[in-house]
Each structure stands twice: as structure tokens, then as C-alpha cells.
Chain A
Amino acid sequence: MIQYLQNNYEVVLTALQQHVWLALLPVLLGFAIALPVGYLAVRFTWLYHPLVNVCGVLYSIPSLALFVFLPVLLGTKVLSPINIVVALTIYTVALLARTVADGLRSVDPLITQAATAMGYRRFGRLINVELPVALPVILAGLRVATVANISLVSVGALIGVGGLGQLFTRGFQLFYLEPILVGIILSVLLAGIADLVIVLIQRAVTPWARFQRGGAA
């Protein structure tokens, strides 16, 4: 395996780079979309159940199906990385919008009431009280979405754009174990590191959560 890495480090590095941004760009986009969507589902309670259902349906669509369906829908080329980014963004939104909504809903109504009674207006209350209190739940969802994205990117290799997934297809075609193993290890490592980074961020921004009952951050 060391031998393989020495001979092919440029290929591996390029694949890794592509993998990182194919996985993380959708996380950022999805998070940015999920925040307002999740909030709306709390603000207008009748939206919550439709949102949960739509998210459930979107999340249950197999990735390969979405990857090959999107070019038809968006008019993009099959080989365009946009398909992967859009598909993973959809998954991220499907996962996070619900998490954001659940997180906001889980805020103790007493806390919200106290904030209102102290004279917070709706937006101030959201930013200063509800979002911070919901943050541990939201960040837990972000961890799941990030790790899932990183492992899903490689399926894209079947339509030609898949970061480390290309090492899998290459190894498979050549009946050659090394690239597959390298790809799996790097993918898992990447997921582990991304997860760890979010945990560290979470510790830093929610120092209070450690003292909550059962809330081992």
C-alpha cells in the first residue's frame, strides 16, 4: 500500500481534494438553506409535518438514482460535479431542516416565554436565545450530515465524478486491492477528522452544554 501511495500520490491527492470539496460544499450550502427552512417550520406549525414528510422522501431516494436523475432535471452534463453537489445538498437539507426544526421545538417553552416576557422581540429572541439553546441538537445533526456526505461522494465515481470513489472503480477494473483500500481508509479518516472538527467547534461554542443533564457534548 505504501508502494502504491508512493507511485500514485498525485492521483490520490487530486482525488482527495475533489472529495473534500464535493462533500463539504454541500454541507455549507445545505446548512445555509436548512436554517431558514427549519425555522419556518417552527414559526408556522402547519408546515412542520409536510416538511418532515418531504425531507423523509428526499432522504430515502438512493444516491445513485439522484446522481443520474439530476442531469435530466437540471440540464447539466452527466459528468458535471454540479450534479453531485446538488444531490448532496438536497440530502443535507433533508437531514438538517428537520433537525433545525426539532432543535428549535425542543427549546423549553418556559425559556422562550421568559425571553418574551423580558422584552425580546421575535428576531432577537431567535438569535439570542432559541438558536443558541438549540445549537447542540443542530450541531449533532450537522455531524451526521457531514459524515454521510463524505461517504456518499464516492458513489459519484459511477457517473465519473467521485473523489476517492475513483480509486474504488480503478481498483475494481484492474482487480487491484491497493487503491480500494487506500480510498476506504482515506474516506473514513476524512469523515473522522471532519466529525472531530465539528465536535471541537461544538465544545467551543456551547460550553454550557456539558453541564446539562445527559448532554455529554
Chain B
Amino acid sequence: MITFDDVVKVYPGGSTAVDHLTVELPTGKLTALVGPSGCGKTTSLRMINRMVNPTSGRVLIDGQDVSQQDEAKLRRGIGYVIQSAGLFPHRTVLDNVATVPVLVGKTRREARTAALELLDRVGLSPEFAKRYPAQLSGGQQQRVGVARALAADPPIMLMDEPFSAVDPVVRGQLHAEFLRLQNDLGKTIAMVTHDIDEAIKLGDKVAVFRQGGILAQFGTPQELLEKPADDFVAEFVGRDRGLRSLSFDSAASLPVQPVSSQPDLELDDAGRPVRWRSAGDLGGVFTASDSLRVVTDLAISSPVGIAVRVDEQGKADGVVRHHDLVDHLLERRR
């Protein structure tokens, strides 16, 4: 657990970067720090590994005040990933990843063997090991950056805009891979981003900062979307937050009508839905494990205004109409 205890950072010019921040980032979870530029999110992140020291207040890791620890040793135990990866251009990919293990006293050979495994883990084939960072694409560099941060198997990782230097398509891939990785590893992660969508997508918890280094809201993504603390957060989260918050609701509790109520739905011999007899294309189906957002999308885009649910075998086992969905949402809000 990373604890900020009434932390203030005032820069020499007199500008306040972080204003009385008190927050706890839970162990094993990813906490996204998000906000407009100049809101103190990066400063807060950098106080965790003492790249910045607080003017007052304390930062604790598992109850230990970081200011009492040797800077270099502290940092070697915390993974760090930054925008465009910050890879060392003069070292091969393999030696970049091996950096911290070598620093903490592993032999070069050991460190390289471990580094090779890590490359595989972040989805880079061994042929990249001997290359230099300049020979990689942005997405590949970012993968190496993550591998490098993981190399010493630190319990904590700090990530500063880790995915902002790559194009949206690659970013989507990296997000997916990263979530999978974090599922396996369960690191305590603090990640700075200016992109609220990224924060909501990746964060277990989200801390929204406003200008002047003030924490505007701290909560789960769903809390942020459904109950923004104030106008600033509501504005920052965006207009379509109602629709987006549906991503966090399961369709399991959604009542469905029996398939037999819709003779217009054509089924094959195995009971799988094929098409609407009157309107054609089905447009897709959902299962009980999908989110309400998927169901809503299907209902809206369906030519007859009906979303079809299937079971694990793909057999149609229910239908949901526009107004059933709206009724359910109204019910849920109560």
C-alpha cells in the first residue's frame, strides 16, 4: 500500500504542485492518477520514488516513510515506466531490460537470461534482444520499457504516461496485453495519464486531480462515472459518462423475454439465432457475462430494436427489447 499523508509540494517559484494530498493506493491494484496538465499528478507519482521530495507531509510504502530510505536502493525496488519508454539508446534491448538486476548485484549472465524471459512475457520474440532501441517501433519500445520495469520483480510499479507516445491502435493492443499481465502479476501500480478513458479502462481506482494539485475525487471508475463529486469531475469524465458507466454493469441481472415471444427470429436446427425474418441482419448477440453497455449497443443498432441473448452453446435463450432495457435502468437507479 502506498500512502500519501497530508503531502504538500511547493516548487521554489512558489507554485503549489500538490496541495494537502491524503490518499491510499491499495496493494495489488492499479491506481490511475488523472487530470489536466499542471494538476500535480506527475509530481505526486515522483514523490513515491523520491524523484521529488515533498515540502511537507509523508509518503509511506507499507507503512515505511520513503524519506527514511536510501534513494538509489528505494528506486531499485520500484519499477518505473515513462512516456516513449526512456530506453538507453546505447544498450541493446536485452541489456536495457537487465539494467536493474545488474545494479542490484546479479551477474550479467543471470540478468540476461531473466531478461529474455521477460521479453517473451511482454510479447517480444527473442530476435529483438540484440537490437538497439532505435531499431524498434514505438509500441515495441514501450513493451521493452515495461519489461525493464518488471526486471527486478518489484512489488510496486510507477508509470508516467506509459502509453501516450504510441498510436491509438497500438495503444489498444498494449492496454489489453498490459491488463493481462497485471492480472497475472498483481503489482501495486500508480499510473499517471491525462486520458480519462485510459484511466477508466485500466484503473482499479482512479484519482482525479484538478489545477493546483488538489485531489478532486478518488474512487472506482464506476463511482466516478455514476457519482462525480462535482462539476469539474463530471466535465472531465465527459458527457457520455452515463452510457460509459454501463460498461461496469453486468447483463446477468437483466430480465429477458422468452425467445418464443419473437416468432420473427429465425433459428437454425441447433437453436442458434440466424436473422430477423422481417429485417435481416442480426447485428450480434450477447451473453450473461457481457456488460449492459454491450446490450444497449445491440438494442440500439438492431433493426427491430431487440437484442438477443445466447447461452454458452450459442443457443438463443432470451431477448431484450428497448423499453425492457430502459425499465431495467430506471429500476436500477432507484
A binding-site residues for B, Cβ under 8 Å: 108, 110-111, 113-121, 124, 129, 132-133, 135, 206-209, 211-213
**Contact between B51 and A116 (Cβ–Cβ < 8 Å)?**
yes
Cβ-defined contact, B134 with A213, below 8 A: yes
Known: A132-B90, A208-B89. A119 touches B76 (CB 8 A): yes
Report the separation of the CA atoms of residues A120 and B90 in the bound assembly, to the nearest whole angstrom.
16
Interface size on B, residues (CB 8 A): 31
For chains A and B in complex, what number of residue pairs have CB atoms within 8 angstroms?
73
Known: A119-B73, A211-B135. A110 touches B103 (CB 8 A): no
**Please, how many angstroms separate the alpha-carbon atoms of A121 and B71 in the complex?**
8
Specify which chain B residues have a CB less than 8 angstroms from the CB of A108 in the assembled complex: 86
7 A-B pairs whose Cβ atoms sit less than 8 Å apart in the complex? A110-B82, A113-B82, A114-B82, A114-B88, A117-B49, A118-B103, A211-B134
- Output the nearest chain A residue to B96 by Cβ-Cβ distance: A114
B84 contacts the other chain (Cβ, under 8 Å)? Answer: yes
With A108-B86, A111-B87, A129-B90 given, can you name 18 additional A-B contacts, CB distance below 8 Å?
Answer: A110-B82, A110-B83, A114-B80, A114-B87, A117-B82, A118-B75, A118-B76, A118-B99, A119-B71, A119-B72, A120-B103, A133-B88, A208-B89, A208-B90, A208-B92, A209-B90, A211-B132, A212-B89
Cβ of B100 within 8 Å of any chain A Cβ, yes or no, is yes
A124 to B104, CA, bound (A): 13
B158 proximal to A (CB < 8 A): yes
Q: Are A119 and B90 touching (Cβ within 8 A)?
A: no
The yes or no answer to B108 lying at the interface (CB within 8 A) is no
C-alpha gap A113/B84 in the complex (Å): 12
A117 to B99, CA, bound (A): 12
* Cβ–Cβ contact A111 & B88, under 8 A: yes
Q: Do A208 and B76 touch across chains, with their CB atoms under 8 A apart?
A: no
Chain A residue at minimal CB-CB distance from B75: A119
Contact with A along B63-77 (1 / 0, CB 8 A): 000000001111111
Interface-centre pick from B49, B86, B100, B103 (highest chain A CB count, 10 A) = B86
Chain B residues, Cβ within 8 Å of A121: 72
Render B87-118 as a binary contact track against A, CB cut-off 8 A, 1 for contact.
11111100000011001100000000000000
Minimum distance in angstroms from B93 CB to a CB of chain A: 11
- How near does chain B come to A127, taking the closest CB pair, in angstroms? 12
B77 CB, min distance to chain A CBs, angstroms: 8
A121 vs B302: C-alpha distance in the bound complex, in angstroms? 61
A211 to B93 alpha-carbon distance, docked (Å): 13
Contacts of B104 in A (CB 8 A): 119
Residues A114 and B91 in contact, CB atoms below 8 Å apart: no
Contact (Cβ within 8 A) B135 A116: no
Chain A nearest CB from B231 CB (Å) reads 35
Residues in A with CB closer than 8 Å to B148 are: 118
Q: Are B135 and A114 in touch, CB under 8 angstroms?
A: no
Nearest 6 A-B pairs (CB), nearest first? A114-B86, A119-B76, A117-B80, A119-B75, A211-B134, A110-B86
Q: Name the B residues within 8 Å of A124 (CB-CB).
A: 103
> Across the interface, which residues of A come within 8 angstroms of B82, CB to CB?
110, 113-114, 117
Q: How far does the alpha carbon of A96 sit from the alpha carbon of B83 in the complex, in Å? A: 32
Residues of B within 8 Å of A110, CB to CB, are: 82-84, 86
Q: Nearest B residue to A111 by beta-carbon distance?
A: B86
Docked complex Cα distance between A115 and B148 (Å):
11
Asked whether A129 lies within 8 Å of B88 as measured between CB atoms, the reply is: yes
Shortest beta-carbon distance, B89 to chain A, in Å? 6
Inter-chain contact A111/B76, CB cutoff 8 Å: no
Q: Do residues B89 and A111 form an inter-chain contact, with CB atoms below 8 A?
A: yes
Q: Which residues of B contact A118 (CB under 8 A)?
A: 75-76, 80, 99-100, 103, 148
Establish whether residues A113 and B86, one from each chain, have CB atoms under 8 Å apart when the complex forms: yes
Nearest CB on A from B117, distance (A): 19
Query: Nearest A residue to B76 by beta-carbon distance?
Result: A119
Q: Are A206 and B90 in contact (CB under 8 A)?
A: yes
A117 to B89, CA, bound (A): 17
Chain A residues near B84: list those with CB within 8 A. Answer: 110
Q: Which residue of B lies closest to A206 (CB)?
A: B90
Which B residues are in CB contact (< 8 Å) with A213? 134
What residue of chain A has the Cβ atom nearest to residue B149's Cβ? A118
User: Shortest Cβ distance from A126 into chain B, in angstroms?
Assistant: 13
Contact with A along B303-319 (1 / 0, CB 8 A): 00000000000000000
Cβ–Cβ < 8 Å partners of A209 in chain B: 89-90
